[in-house]
Amino acid sequence: MADIQVLVKELVNKYGTKREALIPILQGVVASERYLSSEAMIEIAKELDISAAEVYGTATFYSFLETVPRGKYVIRICRTIVCEMNGKKDVLKILEEILKIKVGETTMDKKFSLLETNCIGWCHQGPAMLINDEVYSQLTSDKVREIIQDYIRNK
């Protein structure tokens, strides 16, 4: 059995084959593979006995269910109004400079992806970003440099 089949099987054993298990299963695949490949979605569809189009339709609805390969660390910088007012553009510029990628891209070594996201609930300490599940707020150019350097060196 291919790796993805093993993974999907494991997740199905954990969450079941009912439709309400779909999102936890999709989340489980993203957590392990960093994205949902066509193979993964087809496999899930088979296990849940629904069409692959249903799986794809659900997956593409949600911004945290990636359907293109992403890096080990997904950086999501908040682009909503208060973060925007508090200097999000400068922070984004620094991120693009350090990582040498644009928004939507992944670094060559597959370590980082850079994305924009809508309000993450840290408006009082904007600009803010998420790196996977971790929150970083009150960002400045220097602070962003430090955070990313730390990820490059230590993670």
Partner 1 sequence: MAEKTLKKVDIIFAEYLVSPYKILEETIKRPKNEIIQEILDSGLRGRGGAGFPTGLKWKFGASAKAEPKYIVCNADEGEPGTFKDREILTKVPRKVFLGMGICAFVTGATKGILYLRAEYNYLIPSLNNELQIFHEKAKLLGLDFNITIFSGSGAYVCGEETALIESMEGKRGEPRNKPPFPVQSGYLGKPTIVNNVETFVSASMVCRIGAVEYKKLGTEDQSGSKLFSISGDTHKAGVYELELGMKVSEFVEEFGDGDTKAVQIGGVAGVCVPRKNFEATIIGQGSSSGGSTMVFNSTRSMYNVLHNYLEFFQEESCGQCTPCRVGCQQLLKGIEAIKAGTKPAEYLNQLMKLTETMKLTAKCGLGQSVGNSFNSIVTNFREEMIY
Q: How far is the CB of 149 from partner 1 (least distance, A)?
A: 22
Considering only residues 119, 141, 143, 151, which one is a binding residue for partner 1 as defined by CB under 8 A? Answer: 119
How far apart, in whole angstroms, are the C-alpha atoms of residue 92 and residue 10? 38
Considering only residues 2, 6, 68, 135, which one is a binding residue for partner 1 as defined by CB under 8 A? Answer: 135
Q: How far is the CB of 79 from partner 1 (least distance, A)?
A: 8
Cβ atoms of residues 4 and 33 within 8 Å: yes
Considering only residues 3, 32, 57, 102, which one is a binding residue for partner 1 as defined by CB under 8 A? Answer: 57
How far apart, in whole angstroms, are the C-alpha atoms of residue 144 and residue 142? 5
Q: What does the angle CA 11 – CA 17 – CA 19 come to, to the nearest 5 degrees?
A: 110
**In sequence order, what are the residues at sequence separation of 6 or more whose Cβ sits closer than 8 angstroms to the Cβ of residue 38?**
none
The residues of the shown chain that bind partner 1, judged by CB under 8 A, are: 18-24, 26-27, 57-58, 61-65, 79-82, 84-85, 117-126, 130, 133-135
